[in-house]
Amino acid sequence: MCHGHAGTIMVAKVAGTDEIVGGYNPLTWDNSTRAYMETNDSFIFSLKNGNIQNSILSRVKDQSGALSYLNSNDQNIYGPHFGNYELAMKSNVSNFTKDKRS
């Protein structure tokens, strides 16, 4: 999904709430390897209930595990992973092409 792209933003709405979560990766995603990547410049965020005062911005604490790259075999159900699964996408539906299970 993100292979070869740098400066990417992941955004998702939490079902049943007004919350939006996401993350930013300044590095180029690489699905040819499974590894943790180092950076101090990525971050994750939560925007809650349309009120900016309730929002959260979390910056990298351990740059050695800032991002987790999954190889292409895993990308049919897993999307971007920020940190040690602090923010990760997973779908058992199909390559993130459907919103809900049928």
**pLDDT digit string, tens, across residues 25-50:** 888 877 677 777 888 888 989 998 76
* pLDDT the model gives residue 1: 56
Determine the pLDDT at residue 97: 43
Q: What's phi and psi for 86, nearest 5 deg?
A: -65, -35
Distance, in Å, from the CA atom of 54 to the CA atom of 17, rounded to the nearest integer, reads 14
Joined together, the tokens standing for residue 9 give: 């933003």
Determine the average pLDDT of the residues in 71-90: 72
Distance CA 56, CA 58 (A): 6
pLDDT at position 45, please? 92
Instruction: Report which of residues 36 and 75 the model is more confident about.
Output: 36
Q: Which residue has the higher pLDDT, 34 or 14?
A: 14
